[in-house]
Structure 1
Amino acid sequence: MSHAPIRWIAFAQTRCLVTGTSAEVTTAVKTFVDENPESTVLAFDAVTSYPVEIDLRGSLAEVLARLPPAATEDVTPEPRSVGRPKLGVVPKEVTLLPRHWEWLANQPGSTSVVLRKLVEQAMRANGDTDRVRQSREATYRFIQALAGNEAGYEEASRALFAGDIAAFREHTSTWGQDIREHALGLASIGAADKFVASA
């Protein structure tokens, strides 16, 4: 089973240095830091805003060789003797209360089929809510790391979680352009009709 490459983003203070695959970002960061040894560069997962640690010791080839395989390669699950691996079905233990097992036993189809249907229904029902929550959390992680000392940070954070888009734009208006645009872009992932990366 293949997955899209993980995308990273790196900032040198308030300037976006590069966005791309882990190898592309690592290459750009290594080159920049070698040329500007006094500069501080912060890298993040471009979607989740979790920080990324890049070990810049040694040559570029050595730095790239230390990247985790999961960051640059497709992931292929190991073959399993049970389940239906060709369909991506993975067997795992489920713990339920007796009344839950009783209810499942009275449903048409196998327990696995019923559970999969329930999960699919929940995913459809909560999809929009989950996307909004995840995008807000990613936006907050990002602005906390790069804009925590900026004017209007506290107000922008409150506006973000309140869904007050106009206020969020207003309180980030004095921030560096690259930081502000990325923050608005992150927020728009979960609420494209509410967050637009244009002021």
Structure 2
Amino acid sequence: MYYSPEQLCAAFVGPQLIATGPLVEVVNEVKRHHDAHPNDMILIFDHAQSRPIEVDLRGSMEDVFERLEKQQKPPESKTKVKKPGRPKLGVVSKEVTLLPKHWEWLAQQRGGASVTLRRLVGEAMKAADPLAAQRTAQQSTYRLMTAVAGDLPNYEDAIRALFAAEEEEFINVIADWPEGLRAHIIQISAVAFDPSLVPETEESDSR
């Protein structure tokens, strides 16, 4: 599995949040916790979809980050010719055919043609399925809660409120959960209650 050092994630021991932020910072805190409490089971999840992130904590801090650095490299041969595009952003370069008037209009837009096209495609995708972002946030929150909060009071009530998009009820039933966990859940579940809150991910093209 390959990870970005800047991707946001959170680490838990049971329902207790022990670190949150960019992956490199979280791994640093997780390694310190592991060395101090080697019997604790630490789980790390990315913010976007609450998918588990596997980190080998054996050895020294340098050993951990050396292995992590290898996981950050793209799975390609050293002799492979670099192709156009911006692989760090997951951008793939392909041909687009437009009329001259379309290119002229795109050139006048903020950020240039690529940024504008990505924005227009993103808007079209949301228009085609306006609830996609909500479902994604619901599933992400559900995965996180199932993994670390399944034994907490009102867990089932919280799940029902989450999928019913009842924000006030959801916040009320998790009010007594550990503070760090509660804050993280509220953060990642925001779009589940208001799909318009989906964060902007556009990148400005370099010129």
TM more than 0.5: yes
**Contact 1:5 1:71 survives alignment (8 Å):** no
Aligned to 1:36: 37
Aligned to 2:8: 7
Structure 1 residues 71, 158: CA separation in 2 closer, same or farther (over 3 Å shift)? farther
Structure 1 residues 78, 180: CA separation in 2 closer, same or farther (over 3 Å shift)? farther
Instruction: Measure how far apart 1:47 and its partner are.
Output: 2.3
Query: How many pairs are equivalent?
Result: 166
The runs of 5 or more residues in structure 2 that have no matched partner are 75-79, 100-116, 198-207
Instruction: Measure how far apart 1:39 and its partner are.
Output: 1.9
Instruction: Measure how far apart 1:20 and its partner are.
Output: 2.2
Aligned to 2:93: 89
1:163 aligned onto 2:165: yes
**Contact 1:165 1:194 survives alignment (8 Å):** no
Structure 1 residues 90, 194: CA separation in 2 closer, same or farther (over 3 Å shift)? closer
Runs of 4+, deviation exceeding 6 Å: none
> Greater Rg, structure 1 or structure 2?
1
Structure 1 residues 6, 72: CA separation in 2 closer, same or farther (over 3 Å shift)? farther
Question: Structure 1 counterpart of 2:63, which letter?
Answer: E
Instruction: Measure how far apart 1:161 and its partner are.
Output: 0.9
Cα deviation code 1:11-34 (max 9, x no counterpart): 123322111222211111111110
Q: Percent identity?
A: 29
Question: Structure 2 counterpart of 1:60, which letter?
Answer: M
TM-score by length of 2: 0.66
- 1:193 and 1:130 mapped to 2: Cα distance? 8
The runs of 5 or more residues in structure 1 that have no matched partner are 92-107, 110-115
Question: Structure 2 counterpart of 1:24, which letter?
Answer: E
TM-score by length of 1: 0.68
Cα deviation code 1:64-108 (max 9, x no counterpart): 1111556489xxx9644xxx75894337xxxxxxxxxxxxxxxx9
Calculate the aligned-residue CA RMSD, in Å: 3.5
Cα deviation code 1:141-185 (max 9, x no counterpart): 111111111121111111101101122112212211211111111
Secondary structure, counterpart of 1:67 in structure 2:
helix
Aligned to 2:145: 143
Secondary structure, counterpart of 1:10 in structure 2:
strand
- 1:4 and 1:190 mapped to 2: Cα distance? 26
1:45 aligned onto 2:49: no
